[in-house]
Amino acid sequence: GAVEVARRLSSGLNAPLVESGLSRLLIDCNRPLHATDLIPEISETTIIPGNHDLSAIERTARIDLSHRPFHTCVEEVIAKRAKRGLPSWIVTIHSFTPVYRSISRPWQIGIIHDEDDRIAKPLIAALAQDKNLNVGINEPYSPADRVYYTLERHARPRNTPCVMIELRNNEIASAETQAQWAERLTTIFAAIG
């Protein structure tokens, strides 16, 4: 669901999109290479057998297959835009489960940010206009949960405005709802930008 929303958003804004290409259960591109959950051995309560006892060669193969190319591509996109004098934002889009460890998550969307709220603040304000929408602010995650790596790596050093968007899985389960969320976000970002 999240990648389809990201693709539509990218198209609607005529903005570049970098996809990881693999499930985060194989390797999480939003984690540093030294993170213990770079290649998660468990997801919530489900053991991932194929991720246990990986050799150094297997680990390196996954890094070379997805993690390294993803971050290299992000760096190249930013550099090309800077060379052309184009301003950039970095927006990451993810999804989360409605229930985690038997606890319901009431937010349809979460806006994750650190002290830089240049995008988050107007985005939250725009989303809050819909009184039927439960917007999580640094929910269901926050940068303190170590989920902000891509933005820390690529946005912080360049002082590039950034935000992380988390959409609840059941909000983006169909092509129709993916299109609705993409349209909503496209409209908001176009107004902010």
pLDDT in tens, 172-188: 999 999 999 999 999 99
Among 1, 33, 16, residue whose Cα is nearest residue 150: 33
Over residues 1-30, mean pLDDT: 96
9: amino acid identity, one letter: L
Domain range for 139 is 2-192
Over residues 126-138, mean pLDDT: 98
Q: What was the pLDDT predicted at 157?
A: 96
Of the chain, the percentage scoring pLDDT greater than 90 comes to: 95
26, pLDDT greater than 90: yes
95: amino acid identity, one letter: S
Q: What was the pLDDT predicted at 43?
A: 85
Q: With bands split at pLDDT 50, 70 and 90, how would you rate the model's confidence at 30?
A: very high
Q: What was the pLDDT predicted at 45?
A: 82
Where residue 8 sits, what CATH number does that domain have?
3.40.630.40
Q: What was the pLDDT predicted at 150?
A: 98
When divided into structural domains, the chain yields a total of 1
Residue ranges of E strands in 128-180: 135-137, 162-168
Coil/strand/helix, residue 179: helix
